[in-house]
Every structure is written in C-alpha cells, then in structure tokens.
Copies of this chain bind each other. A is one copy, B any other.
Amino acid sequence: MKTSIVIKKGLSSDMRFDLKDGAGSDAVHTSPVYAYAVCRLVTDSNLEGVGLAFTLGSGNKIVCQAIEYLVRHVEGKEIYELMSDFGTIYKKMADDPNFRWLGPHKGVVQLALAAVVNACYDLWAKAEGVPLWKLLTSLTPEQLVNTLDFSYYEDILPKYEALDLIKKQQAGISSRESIIETGYPGYDTSIGWFNYSDEKIITNVKMAMDRGFTAMKLKVGSKNAAHDIRRAELVRRIAGDQATIMFDANQQWNLPQAIDICTKLKDLNPYWIEEPTHPDDVYAHIALAKAVDVPLALGEHVPNKVIFKNFIQSGCMTFNQVDAVRVGGVSEFILISLLSRKFNIPVVPHVGDMGQIHQHLVLFNHITLGHPALLLEYIPHLREHFKSPAIVKDGKYLTPMEPGMSADLLKHEYSL
C-alpha cells in the first residue's frame, strides 16, 4: 500500500541565467538569457515536484504567471490518483476556458502547461523513489496510455492502437535495456555558437573530439550564405570526414534562401540541417525537402501534438526534435514519440532542459517504445545550477539514478 501524497500548493519561480562569452548565441538571439519558468508542487510530505519550461529572456515572467493560474487544477490532488488517469486532467488543463483563447495549445499557456505537467511527473517519480526513466519503463502499457490525452489523434493514433504499438515492442525490451549500462550517446551542441570566432570553433571541435564526442552541431542561419558555408567547411575540415556534423539555422532563412544554402551545405554531408525556416511552415519544409535531398531536423519550436502530427504526416521531417519543456510536458512528449514511432521517425530531442529531463526520456523512448538510441544534445552551460547535473563521459550520458527527473535547481530564486 502506497503512502498518500497530496499536492498542497503550486508555486512558480522565474529563474534567469546569464551566459558568458557568446555561449547560446544563435541567428535570433545575440546575447541570450536562458530562463526557466519553474513550477514547484509543495506536498504534505517532504517531497516537492519540480517542473521546468524553458524560455529566453524577460518574457519568462509571463509564463510564471500562467503557471500560478493553471496549477489550481492539481492542487489538492493525491499524486498516485492524479497519475492513474492523467490524460483526463491533462485535457482539462489544456482546454481551461480562461486560457484556451490564448492558444489553443501554444505559446505562453502551453509553456505553463509544460511546467505543471513536468512537476507532476517529477513528484510521481520521487514518490516512487526512482528516476523518471525507471518509473516510465516500469509502467504497464495500460498505465502508460492512461497518462496521455489522445484528443485529435483519433484519426491517426487512437488509444487502442497506441496500446498495441507499445505491446508489440515488449519483446525487445530486455536487449534494449543494455543502454542503461552503456550510456546514451550525446552530441556536442556548443562547438560553434553564432558569435564564436573561427579560432574558438577550431578549439572547441578539437576539445569535443578529445572528450569522446563523434557528433557535433554548428549554428548557421546567417543572411550571408558564404559566411555560413565557410564556417561549415571549417568544422568539417577539423572534425574530419567520419564525424557526424549538424547545422542549425534557427528558422532564419525564407524558402528560397533555404533551398539555396541547403544545396550548398549538402556537399558537406551533414547528418541533418535543423530548423531551416519558419517552424509553422509545413509546406515550405515539404518544398525544401523536395528541392534538396538533405535530412531535416524539426520540432524545437513546434508547440503541440497537432502541428507535430501535421509535420509527421507531411513526410518532410527526418528527425523529430520534440522538447518536453516546450510542448505540454512529458505527457505530450510521450504521445508525440508514439506517433513518431509509428511513422519510423527517430526522436532526437531539443533540450531546453539542458538534457536533464531528456536523458530520462530518451532511455524510455528506446527501451519501451523501441526508438533507436541515436543521439542526445549535450549543452553544459547551466550545469552548475542543477542539484544533479547530467554526467557525460566519453561522449555518453551516464544513466541518472537519483529519484525524479533531475530538474531540481540549487536555488528557488535566481535573477540577473
């Protein structure tokens, strides 16, 4: 018999972190401030659920206010009871009549939803005394689908089909569990931020390889194609032909520009090109995929399961970069991962959480859903702020063992 744990109160914290020396700079943000809108669930026990949504800059405050409203849906609830039918409460929060017009299912209210949902999963895992990956991989298929909201997936992945898909993967679980011992491969996302000099990029590429990374990502997205291509060639030259290299344009090209530059970048044999154009533009990505035969990685800024459904149906998404601190938390992340599995599109998450939560989720995706264990983004810029920072050795994430989803921060208050 499990001890009842009741959520007494939901709080929010607006946490912002300055990055140093151009780290985090991309084609949109020259001097980024990373920010977490944090939901904290205080309980009648000594456990606290902590959920993150990631943003950039002072708008983070607004997400915190939305959290403070939304969290009333889970206040007063017992955690095991809540999670036994979480899909229902998820839908209620996502469709709250006071917030629905502000979305639906996108922008500030969706980010707030992510923080609240993630705090519930964190509390659940802490209540069980296990890391999130362990909790999720231990659920029965029925328990798992009951945490999901299948609304608007009836035409493509109804609940019974999801259940079937999960059950079919059970045969391979024991062999896939070896990943817990070997660790999950990471890639270095910090070799070439947008503002970095050539010298710094060269140093970083060498350092990444010394640390055991065989995959790394460069920020592109300049309006000047020659500038992007020169830097990309530099990385390929230093890293060598065998290295796995990705280019990230952060949505900065329009379609004609994207076709032009991707055609040129293709010659450098990228593993993917990321966010080439506006993240809402399904048709532009289809046109790009037809025009240039290069793998596209998409999803960092896709806000919800419905737009993911469209991208997945469109056939232009080679890699799915769904982020559990951008869509409606772990619940929606799992649903999108399920659909992606059905269409055989690998999930390679964007990590607004700096990989803290996603190190759990990719283990679950691999072990339970049968996704290939490809790569998880590694971005260490906030590691000193986490209680249990992710550990990467020889280019691999070591399996986290602390209870919860590794999202606890050292302070409740932090501002610039």
Contacts from A to B (Cβ < 8 Å): 28-30, 32, 54-59, 61-63, 65-66, 69, 95, 97-111, 151-152, 154-155, 251, 254-257, 277-284, 287, 301, 303-304, 306-307, 309-310, 313-314
Distance (whole angstroms) from the CB of A301 to the closest CB of chain B:
7
CA distance A66 to B61 in the complex (A): 10
Q: Distance in Å from the Cβ of A199 to the closest Cβ of chain B?
A: 26
Of A32, A62, A251, A284, most buried by chain B (CB within 10 Å of CB) is A62
Number of identical protomers: 2
Q: Do the beta carbons of A102 and B313 come within 8 Å of each other?
A: no
| Closest B residue by C-beta to A33 | B98
**Contact between chains at B59 and A62 (CB < 8 Å):** no
CB-based nearest B residue for A280:
B306
Q: Which of B28, B58, B63, B303 contacts A95 (CB 8 A)?
A: B28
Query: A282 is contacted by which of B104, B254, B282 (Cβ under 8 Å)?
Result: B282
Establish whether residues A256 and B109, one from each chain, have CB atoms under 8 Å apart when the complex forms: no
A107–B101 contact, CB under 8 A? no
Tell me which residues across on chain B come within 8 A of A280, comparing CB atoms.
105-106, 304, 306-307, 310
How far, in Å, is A280 (CB) from chain B's closest CB? Answer: 4
A63 contacts B102, C-beta separation under 8 Å: yes
Q: Shortest Cβ distance from A229 into chain B, in angstroms?
A: 20
Q: Once the chains are docked, how many angstroms separate the CA of A254 from the CA of B279?
A: 24
- What are 27 A-B contacts with C-beta separation under 8 Å? A28-B97, A30-B97, A56-B100, A59-B102, A62-B62, A62-B102, A102-B107, A102-B108, A102-B111, A104-B251, A104-B278, A107-B108, A107-B303, A108-B108, A108-B109, A151-B254, A152-B254, A152-B278, A152-B281, A154-B257, A155-B254, A155-B255, A155-B287, A278-B306, A280-B306, A281-B310, A283-B309
- Tell me, in angstroms, the Cα distance from A97 to B25 when the chains sit together: 11
Known: A66-B62, A69-B59, A280-B304. A110 touches B109 (CB 8 A): no
B59 in contact with A154 (CB, 8 Å): no
